[in-house]
Chain A
């Protein structure tokens, strides 16, 4: 079961401080204004989360985002093709999503999130590896290089 070569985001548990700047940078990057103040204070609804900082019982933590699996269970589970692969990147067509949460049932990493949309309904939300950037926002913002973006 071969996995294709592409850059992915990898967490480094031993470096993560749990500051959650990766979450903030992600929200800002996916906001309309791409401005931290406007994104948090003015945009409604604010872009939903796409990543998480997992925290253990002993102060251990790491930042986690979609693994961009070679053969993703979420895409198999999606009942109407709203989740799809685009050159190895798993994306969600929010306009097509029906919020059935089959993807939440399927993702073994817990990397799919519910997002409230402008119409008052819901859609899936997930990491898209920041298509407008060379390095995903979460990786670039991390003050202790606890996230890396590389080919492994």
Chain B
């Protein structure tokens, strides 16, 4: 039995661990475009200003691949999947056969056509290598513009700001972080960050990159010009589906998978940021490109590849983010999809504290915590386990969440016997 895995991040690592729980003799071959052992991709923005020591970026210890008998092929890209012959072709011309194939190739930054986009000092932030290029340049520049105020854009802006370079974020929407915060929550962050010297321009976008040779500034749609000698493009990430599509696998935005993480070919699995899978909050398939789901899906894929039936029960967005010391955790919907939802919230602007919950027929389907985030996972659990909240729910806004305020049946289920998760 030969398992081939394309990609080498969270989903791949968990799949390897799971396969080896059941099969200690099968061959595992892992291909990665990148030249590194599995590392913590979310930490590449910390790397910009040495926010964490480099050793903490390692996702597993160096002995991981040997211990799990993995044939690791680094800095090699898989360029083709031949499903009839059950083999893959790599960028070095190598051909590798597979019995089970797992796609965990993640996403790639979306780069829009830009007037002046061929100037030097324009970067994306998706890999450790891209962060290395940015870090190298940070020493020589004075001002940076980050196009896109999403999660990657804001974390990159934080990293550049912390490295001592004046940073401007330009976001098309009227708020930053629109996928993980509502406008009130985002406003707290905007105020907080601007008070600390970060510039944030909302409801505007880049029209043209200025400068000859190197970037010297950007002109915005509003006509405003911002001087800069570095431009980071962080407007979005798209699932890396090209070879899956060419191989004729069913794709939409991502590669479509069932609850076993199988694609339209039962011997080909997909997990992580590349996969489009069931989201239990919106009740349809979505690409939820978050680390915890990549780990979980990798594990489910690995189990099924190794021969043990396991199902993915569905995911939903959940994020934990801090910017210059202000923290937020959010999960599920951040705004009610329509007026059949109930919304409760409480804000303390001066303390940068905010809570908001979205409920439908007594079930929580979204929550935001800013500032005080203790035990926020209890709410994540309520969404995941679809727990009905009865009676007064005002405790959600005031105290630290507690299980004792929840239905006793749920509590007994979780506290009086061993739990799966």
A residues with CB within 8 A of B: 1, 3, 6, 8, 10-11, 54-57, 60-62, 64, 67, 69-77, 79-82, 96, 98, 100-110, 112, 114, 152
Whether B377 pairs with A98 at a CB distance below 8 angstroms is no
A76-B295 contact, Cβ under 8 Å, with A101-B329, A105-B320: yes
In the complex, whether B319 has a CB less than 8 A from a CB of chain A is: yes
B295-336 contacts to A, CB under 8 A, are 295-296, 299, 310, 318-320, 322, 327, 329, 331
Partner pick for A3 among B291, B375, B405, B419, CB 8 A cutoff: B419
Q: Residue of A at shortest CB range from B55?
A: A96
Which one of B74-82, B139-147, B380-388 is at the A interface? B380-388
B residues with CB within 8 A of A: 14, 40-43, 46, 52, 56-60, 291-293, 295-296, 299, 310, 318-320, 322, 327, 329, 331, 373-378, 380-382, 384-385, 400-405, 414-421
Whether B418 pairs with A98 at a CB distance below 8 angstroms is no
**Chain B residues, CB < 8 A from A82:** 56
**Chain A residues, CB < 8 A from B415:** 10-11, 62, 64, 67
A79-B43 contact, Cβ under 8 Å, with A102-B291, A102-B292, A110-B375: yes
Partner pick for B318 among A62, A81, A105, A112, CB 8 A cutoff: A105
**Chain A residues, CB < 8 A from B322:** 100-101
Partner pick for B56 among A54, A73, A96, A108, CB 8 A cutoff: A96
Whether A110 pairs with B59 at a CB distance below 8 angstroms is no
Whether A69 pairs with B381 at a CB distance below 8 angstroms is no
Could you tell me the distance in whole angstroms from the C-beta of A122 to the nearest C-beta in chain B? 10
Whether B43 pairs with A105 at a CB distance below 8 angstroms is no
Q: Residue of B at shortest CB range from A58?
A: B404
Partner pick for B57 among A64, A80, A108, CB 8 A cutoff: A80
Whether B418 pairs with A3 at a CB distance below 8 angstroms is yes
**Chain B residues, CB < 8 A from A76:** 14, 292-293, 295-296, 299
